[in-house]
Amino acid sequence: MQTDLRGRDMITTQEWTRAEIDTVMEVAHDLKRKRALGEPHAYLRDKSLAMLFFFTSTRTRGSFEAGMAQLGGHGAFIDHTTTQISHGDTAKEIGEIFGRYFDGIAIRQCDWKVGNQYIRDVAEASRVPVLNMQCDVYHPFQILADLMTIQERFGREGLRGKTINVSWAYASSYQKPISVPQSLILLMTRFGMNVRLTHPPEYKLMPDIVEQAKENTRRHGGSFEMLDDFDTGCRGADVVYAKSWGALMTTEDNEESARIGKQYTNWITDEQRMAMAAENAVYMHCLPADRNIEVTDGVLDGPQSIVYDEAENRLHVQKAVMALTMR
């Protein structure tokens, strides 16, 4: 167990060692047990977290705010549109000033080619940990929750050799960020899983992220393959993690991306596709899902779905990272 994580930023899991991630998992499982038993765990009493949102949120805001309260501290919700951030304050100023007001800074900024750099600029200027609540490149806390959920289903030592299909799915609501699939392939390849990245040709991920995933496989075992057929990706998979993302590597025009997507409206996770997966396969999604477009009600609400366990575990992994870095 690593005990020297105080002050560390969490911008991507790729910048944390495997031992450090294992520590987060160990603490998260313990905090989940404590909450279930009603045991107090106010490790961050009198601490405060600035939660700066450039994008709306349900699970992220709720879980960070509740988590800080359960740890004995306070989460301050800050909307960039109702502050001087919208017309003046720079990333450097936010890092310098909020780093003096608060004990941690959490940021959700998903603008393409802007978000990750903004978070890193704040972190460079901050004297306190900076936590990435999602950017254009990474979504580390979602993926830590995904890891915890898969471990709960298959055992903490049982991931090696299991197959996860990280697949694109059609959605009509909006062109979603690519940060979830990118973070998934980065983390799951570090745990010896057989990772499939399945998507239509126009929905590629960032080349350097794909190369890092391949390197992770070389270091940690398992396998990494890229497929362009939804059925093939689902076949025999232990985890079907199918969600939509925008065609950002093909076009930055949202309308053009939407037109491309309409060619693939049959990329929906339904009961037939789940039947192609392994016998004890599970369905995962970070939510919100476009019901009966990305995934059918029968799958999302069915016995193979573990999306609500997955959502709950956002709370526990975030509390673990905050407790380890903000104490």
Angstrom distance (rounded) from CA 284 to CA 186? 17
Angstrom distance (rounded) from CA 139 to CA 253? 22
Residues 6+ apart with CB under 8 A from 171: 243, 244, 261, 289, 290, 293, 294
Per-residue pLDDT of the chain (327 residues; tens, 9 = 90+): 999 999 999 999 999 999 999 999 999 999 999 999 999 999 999 999 999 999 988 999 999 999 999 999 999 999 998 888 888 899 999 999 999 999 999 999 999 999 999 999 999 999 999 999 999 999 999 999 999 999 999 998 889 999 999 999 999 877 899 999 999 999 999 999 999 999 999 999 999 999 999 999 999 999 999 999 999 999 999 999 999 999 999 999 988 998 999 999 999 999 999 999 999 999 999 999 999 999 999 999 999 999 999 999 999 999 999 999 999
Cβ–Cβ under 8 Å, residues 104 and 326: yes
Residues of each domain in the chain carrying CATH 3.40.50.1370: 13-139+314-326, 142-310
Tokens representing residue 61 in the block: 């805001």
Which pTM was predicted?
0.97
Dihedral sign for Cα atoms in the order 167, 173, 178, 181: negative
Domain 142-310 architecture? 3-Layer(aba) Sandwich (3.40)
Superfamily of domain 13-139+314-326: Aspartate/ornithine carbamoyltransferase (3.40.50.1370)
Angle at 66 between CA 98 and CA 118, to 5 degrees: 35
